[in-house]
Amino acid sequence: MTRAQLRHPRVAGLISAGGVAQSFLVRLPSLLAGIGPVKAASFRVARRISNSLRAGHAVEHYSDLEKCRLIWIAVPEAALDRVMHDLASHVPAAGKMVVLCGSNFDSLRPSPLRVAGAMVGSLNAMDPDARTLVAEGHLDVVRMLRKIAMLDKRKLIHIRPAAKCLYLAGVHLSAHLVLPWIAAALESFRAAGFSRAEAADAVVNLGGRAVRGYGKAGKKTWSAADASQLRSALERDLDAIRATDPRLAALYSAGIAQALRYFDGK
What is the tens place of the pLDDT at every residue in 98-113?
999 999 999 999 999 9
Q: Which of 134, 151, 173 is the last residue of a domain?
A: 173
Question: So what's the pLDDT on residue 4?
Answer: 47
Instruction: Determine the Cα–Cα distance for residues 45 and 38; give it in Å rounded to an integer.
Output: 10
pLDDT surpasses 70 at 10: no
Mean pLDDT of 119-128: 95
Q: Are 3 and 35 spatial neighbours (Cβ–Cβ below 8 Å)?
A: no
Residue 132 φ/ψ, nearest 5 degrees: -125, 125
Question: So what's the pLDDT on residue 79?
Answer: 94
Instruction: Determine the Cα–Cα distance for residues 265 and 252; give it in Å rounded to an integer.
Output: 18
pLDDT surpasses 70 at 2: no
Question: So what's the pLDDT on residue 9?
Answer: 36
The pLDDT tens digits of the residues spanning 28-51 come to 999 999 999 999 999 999 999 999
One domain for residues 101 and 167: yes
One domain for residues 155 and 244: no
One domain for residues 75 and 199: no
CATH code, domain with 30 = 3.40.50.720
Q: Domain of residue 118: give its range.
A: 3-173
DSSP label of 108 = T
Instruction: Determine the Cα–Cα distance for residues 75 and 215; give it in Å rounded to an integer.
Output: 35
Q: Which of 173, 206, 222 is the last residue of a domain?
A: 173
One domain for residues 40 and 98: yes
The number of folded domains in the chain is 2
One domain for residues 102 and 59: yes
97: enclosing H helix or E strand: strand 97-101
Prediction pTM value: 0.86
Instruction: Determine the Cα–Cα distance for residues 37 and 252; give it in Å rounded to an integer.
Output: 54
Instruction: Determine the Cα–Cα distance for residues 178 and 185; give it in Å rounded to an integer.
Output: 11
The pLDDT tens digits of the residues spanning 142-183 come to 999 999 999 999 999 999 988 999 999 999 999 999 999 999
One domain for residues 9 and 134: yes
DSSP label of 126 = S
Question: So what's the pLDDT on residue 6?
Answer: 44
Q: Using 50, 70 and 90 to split pLDDT, how confident is the model at 22?
A: confident
Cα-only R_g, the chain:
24
One domain for residues 223 and 162: no
